[in-house]
A = this chain, B = another copy of it.
Amino acid sequence: MMQRLGLDVTVIDCRWGDGADEAKLAEILKADTKKQIKAVAVVHNETTTGVTSDIPEVRKTMDTIDHPALLLVDGVSSIGALEFKFDDWRVDVAVTGSQKALSIPTGLGLVCASPKALDAMKSAKLKRVYYDFADMLRTNPSGNVPYTPSLPLLYGMRASIKMLKEEGMQNVHARHFRLAEGARKAVEGWGLQTLCKDPRWKSDSLTVIETPAGIDSQKVVDIAYAKYNLSLGIGLDKVKGKVFRIGHLGNMDELMLCSALCGAEMAMIDAGVKIAPGSGVSKAIDYFQKTAKVIPTRESLVQ
């Protein structure tokens, strides 16, 4: 994407299923003795592979070398679901969307910029109109925006943020971990593996599952949709046909995920994966039941 904008970019390639490689980053930053690298761009949670990179560690790597590059983070499938500390981690630009952890329709692109990033904007040379921060900064103080906004989505976002706050962000993160653990137990139950192998990087917002050799994962996704009314994510690019994805972020609970796990089982059996019915979902049920919070009394429910 940045290359298409004519930017000079060094991509740190790594195995699909791994997170951002801090060692390689350190190497590159150290070699940049003239401090010409302007920004380090990281995807916090990679939706294609089910990998959550370690942003604090990336930050620390940059700090240790004392490199002044901006830290740009794609938080599309993380912010609102996983822990994300813009200020503490000294992120410079973070972006997210309305359609993931905020659980509202697609349509809002949300950007947060540090003072340092806004400063950099002043000397930035990329031609831009719609995406220019300056127009936003000029119109926001009077309660306005430069272009016609989508009011329904703004009202929706207000409601969504209210719900997240009522639950408490720590509880939100704990709920996402719990859902992800349930999904991972199911994968174990099936005798399969997630694309992400290193526990440090396993994502809590989605789980990407490898189908066994010889089974086209696309078939699993197609059957789930056509027979069971279930939308699984397909394998993209390098992992096309090799993995399918179960998203579990946003306004979601255990039984919704169980429903998806049941559907995934049925579709896999249809597609020829050798698993026993219930082999995965039973593990999730067991995990969810054993780790559920203390049961509130009926009295506490009727106010």
Contacts and interface: CB of A to CB of B under 8 A. Distances in A.
A230 B296 CA distance: 14
A265 B285 contact: yes
Q: Which interface class (under 10, 10 to 19, 20 to 34, 35 or more) fits A?
A: 35 or more
Contacts of A226: 295-296, 298, 301
Contacts of A152: 105
A266 interface: yes
A27 interface: no
A148 B285 contact: no
Interface in A126-152: 126-129, 132, 142-143, 148-152
| A106, A223, A269, A302: residue with the most chain B Cβ atoms closer than 10 Å | A106
Interface string A255-267: 1101110110110
Select the residue from A148, A222, A229, A262 with max chain B CB neighbours within 10 A: A262
Contact of A281 (B148, B222, B285, B296): B285
A10 interface: no
Interface stretch (A112-120, A241-249, A286-294): A286-294
A214 interface: no
A180 B23 CA distance: 57
Contacts of A276: 282
A222 B283 CA distance: 23
B295 A269 contact: no
Nearest to A293: B227
